[in-house]
Structure formats: structure tokens, C-alpha cells
């Protein structure tokens, strides 16, 4: 199996890692299936790599690994198959945080990732199982009027022309890219 998704002539994972790095926060990539094929795409970038040996279990295993390993104030979870994510959007999520426990992206009549989770949410992220992703935590708190979780929504503008800015947030935030088997099998989508 080859890692064949490309954006502007470079692997999608590298493109997304560069978008995250431009926010001036730490970036961690969780690798599982095909790690030896995927790792070279980001080998020269200033990112931390976590190896998910339980990748067969699904997305939840990568998220649990991150939630149990990273010791920062918040995690901004991304997936590696969203080519239109920009630094500007990631900065908007970070800047919207304030006292919110979750800041989620809104698109296609849903809430999802990229999404920022405050440390108070790490326990729920670590409790995910099977194919569950972060959307399960977002939904749980969005649908419950009694939820103690405060959340915000940042509309995801799919524009490539927005300028990339730097975040003024001084908190330590990690970006996590769980790379799953299914996300490495898609066709090339040069944009």
C-alpha cells in the first residue's frame, strides 16, 4: 500500500503538518498502519511521532494514545484526509477557545474535526473505543442540555486564499493527526 494522497505536489500529511506547524504550536502525528511508508513524508519536519501499535482497533486507539501521552493544556485533533484545512482555520479554533472545553469545526450540517479539546476533556477522549472518533465526544456535549462542557463552533471556510496568521495564544497546544489505514488508501487528490 502506498501513501498516495497529494496536495500541490506533496503528500497530504506533510501539507497538513505544515499548516499546523505554522500556528507555532507543537505538532504530534500518530502513525499506525504503513508507518514506514508514511514517516518519510514528515521526517524533516519538527514534529513528534507517536507509534500506535493498536491501529487495527480504529481511530479511538490513536486518540487514546494522544490523550494519555500528551501533557499540554489542550489537544487540537485533526485527521489526515481533510486537504482544505488551513492555518487560518486552525488559528480560529485556537483563538475561539477562551473558557470553552471544546471548540469544533462546523461543516456540511455537522460538527467535527479539526476540533480543540481542553485538558478537562482528555478523560473522555481516553475512554473512546473501536471506530469512535472525537466526534462522539463533541456530539455527547452538543446534544446534552445538561452538559457541564462548554463548547464553541468555528465555521469552516473552505477558502485557500486566506492569509495564514500566527496565534497569540500562549498555552501549550498539541495538534494530533491520527493516521489510519483507510486514510492511506484513498486516491491522489492534487489540488
pLDDT digit string, tens, across residues 46-101: 999 999 999 889 889 999 999 999 988 899 999 888 888 889 999 988 888 887 88
136 located within any domain: yes
Rounded distance between C-alpha atoms, residue 17 and residue 45, angstroms:
8
DSSP 132-191: --THHHHHHHHH-TT-S--EEEEE----S-SPP------S-EEEEEE--HHHHSSPP---
6 located within any domain: no
pLDDT confidence of residue 96: 85
Going by C-alpha positions, the residue among 10, 14, 57 that lies closest to residue 32 is 57
Better-scored residue on pLDDT, 117 or 157: 117
Better-scored residue on pLDDT, 51 or 179: 51
Phi-psi domain of 76 (left: phi exceeds 0; alpha: psi -120 through 50; beta: other): beta
Name the residue range of residue 52's domain: 11-183
What confidence tens digit (pLDDT) does each residue in 90-139 have? 998 888 888 788 888 887 778 889 999 999 999 999 999 988 999 999 98
pLDDT confidence of residue 6: 84
189 located within any domain: no
Rounded distance between C-alpha atoms, residue 167 and residue 173, angstroms:
11
State mean pLDDT over 164-178.
39
Residue 36 has pLDDT above 70, yes or no: yes
CA neighbours closer than 13 Å in the CB half-sphere of residue 66: 37
State mean pLDDT over 20-32.
92
> How many domains would you assign to the chain?
1
Rounded distance between C-alpha atoms, residue 142 and residue 150, angstroms:
9
pLDDT confidence of residue 153: 63
Find the CATH number of the domain harbouring 174: 3.90.550.10
23 located within any domain: yes
pTM of the prediction?
0.77
4 located within any domain: no
Mean per-residue pLDDT of the chain: 76
What confidence tens digit (pLDDT) does each residue in 3-15 have? 567 888 899 899 9
1 located within any domain: no
Residue 140 CB: number of other CB atoms within 10 A?
13
39 located within any domain: yes
144 located within any domain: yes
Please report, for residues 91, 160, 178, the alpha-carbon distance to residue 21 in angstroms, rounded to integers and kept in the order given. Answer: 11, 17, 16
Amino acid at each position: 500500500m502506498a501513501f498516495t494522497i497529494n496536495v500541490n505536489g506533496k503528500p497530504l500529511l506533510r501539507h497538513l503538518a505544515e499548516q499546523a506547524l505554522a500556528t507555532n504550536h507543537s505538532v504530534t502525528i500518530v502513525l499506525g498502519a504503513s508507518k514506514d511508508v508514511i514517516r518519510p513524508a514528515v521526517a524533516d519536519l519538527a514534529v513528534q511521532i507517536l507509534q500506535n501499535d493498536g491501529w487495527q482497533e480504529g481511530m479511538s486507539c490513536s486518540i487514546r494514545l494522544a490523550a494519555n501521552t500528551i501533557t499540554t493544556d489542550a489537544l487540537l485533533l485533526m485527521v489526515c484526509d481533510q486537504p482544505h484545512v488551513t492555518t487560518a482555520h486552525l488559528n480560529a479554533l485556537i483563538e475561539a477557545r477562551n473558557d470553552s472545553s471544546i471548540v469544533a469545526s462546523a461543516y456540511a450540517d455537522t460538527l467535527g474535526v479539526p476540533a480543540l479539546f481542553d485538558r478537562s476533556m482528555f478523560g473522555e477522549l481516553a475512554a473512546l473505543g473501536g471506530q469512535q472518533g472525537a466526534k462522539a465526544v463533541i456530539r455527547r456535549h452538543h446534544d446534552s442540555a445538561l452538559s457541564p462542557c462548554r463548547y464553541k463552533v468555528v465555521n469552516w471556510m473552505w477558502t485557500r486564499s486566506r492569509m495564514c496568521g500566527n496565534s497569540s495564544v500562549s498555552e501549550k497546544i498539541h495538534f494530533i493527526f491520527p493516521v489510519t489505514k483507510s486514510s492511506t488508501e484513498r486516491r491522489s487528490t492534487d489540488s
